[in-house]
Amino acid sequence: MAKSNAYSVILAPFSVPAGGTKASPGKDTGAFNLQPNYGTGITVAMTNGASAPSAPLQAQIQVSGDQVTWRDYGTPLVGETAANGVISWAIPIEKNWMFARVIAYGNATNPVTLAVEVQAATGL
């Protein structure tokens, strides 16, 4: 039997305003339900504008079993400070997690565009 895949976009690319901290992020994607999936991958892409930020955007993938207590999944993904800089990652999420989200924070002086996508195997 062939594996079936679903492709879901959590959010269309969005601007993350300058500022914010991990405790009070500039953007939170909200929870993505991983429960019906056999495997999930999250891609994160950061794009600076023509006016580069003086400090890079950081994005942190977090996982949870209850959508209340969130745990960092790996280290923060750190963007660039070059004008028009683009950087991206593809992160596999182990299937034993129930929920995932991405928070973004830390860029200074100028907003950065962030794109977050989730790919999931929904059948085997």
Residue given tokens 């305003």 in the structure block? 17
Q: Tell me what percent of the residues of the chain surpass a pLDDT of 70.
A: 90
pLDDT value of position 37: 80
Domain that holds residue 22: 4-123
pLDDT value of position 65: 94
How would residue 12 be classed by pLDDT, with cut points 50, 70 and 90?
A: confident
Tokens of 51: 């006016």
Cβ-based neighbours of 119, under 8 Å, separated by 6 or more: 5, 6, 7, 8, 40, 41, 42, 43
Cβ-based neighbours of 113, under 8 Å, separated by 6 or more: 13, 14, 15, 16, 46, 47, 48, 49
Query: Per the structure, how many domains does the chain have?
Result: 1
The 10s digit of each residue's pLDDT in 78-110 is: 999 999 999 999 999 988 899 999 999 998 889
C-alpha span between 5 and 78 (Å, rounded) = 29
CATH code at 32?
2.60.120.230
What backbone phi and psi angles, to 5 degrees, belong to 24?
-135, 75
How would residue 13 be classed by pLDDT, with cut points 50, 70 and 90?
A: confident
| pTM of the predicted protein model | 0.89
Amino acid present at 12: A
